[in-house]
């Protein structure tokens, strides 16, 4: 591993690295929802569109991704709690909206999107519960820190 990658890994840790990648992915997804939403997304988000226009939902993805990316670099557990909460919110809302669209018959295939987005949010919640490890002399040795 090159020196820059080692420094990045040491700076972010496992949780921060995951938060950075998730935030970057949500940023790109939000831009896509704002700029050119896919027809399947428009159909599956029919219930969400009764609350706010799809463009507003895209901006929510972008705003939450900015919090997640910023929190990945920040020091302290409070920042990471904010980052993981922000990163988990859009896919959780998307999962609920897609499930409602499926249950109401607005989109018979929306169950798949609901399951996918619920899984994305669940993965973030699992990683949020991980403890960071301070590197020790070997792969099995290390001190846990919170």
Contact indicator for 69, 23 with CB cutoff of 8 Å: yes
Contact indicator for 73, 12 with CB cutoff of 8 Å: yes
For residue 68, count other CB atoms closer than 10 A to its CB: 30
Distance CA 121, CA 22 (A): 10
Contact indicator for 106, 146 with CB cutoff of 8 Å: no
Tens digit of each residue's pLDDT, the chain (146 residues): 688 878 887 888 888 999 999 999 999 999 999 999 988 888 889 899 999 999 999 999 999 999 999 999 987 788 889 999 999 999 999 999 999 999 999 999 999 999 999 999 999 999 998 887 665 555 554 545 55
What is the pLDDT, as a whole number, of residue 141?
46
Host domain of residue 98:
12-130
Q: Is 3 inside any structural domain? A: no
pTM of the entire structure? 0.84
Number of structural domains found in the chain: 1
Q: Is 123 inside any structural domain? A: yes
């Amino acid at each position: 591993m090159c020196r820059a990658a080692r420094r990045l890994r040491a700076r972010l840790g496992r949780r921060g690295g995951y938060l950075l990648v998730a935030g970057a992915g949500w940023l790109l997804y939000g831009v896509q929802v704002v700029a050119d939403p896919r027809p399947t997304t428009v159909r599956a988000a029919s219930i969400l569109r009764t609350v706010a226009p799809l463009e507003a939902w895209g901006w929510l993805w972008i705003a939450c991704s900015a919090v997640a990316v910023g929190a990945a670099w920040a020091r302290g557990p409070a920042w990471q709690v904010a980052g993981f909460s922000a990163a988990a919110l859009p896919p959780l809302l998307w999962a609920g909206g897609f499930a409602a669209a499926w249950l109401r018959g607005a989109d018979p295939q929306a169950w798949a999107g609901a399951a996918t987005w619920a899984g994305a949010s669940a993965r973030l919640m699992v990683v949020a519960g991980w403890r960071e490890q301070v590197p020790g002399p070997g792969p099995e040795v290390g001190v846990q820190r919170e």
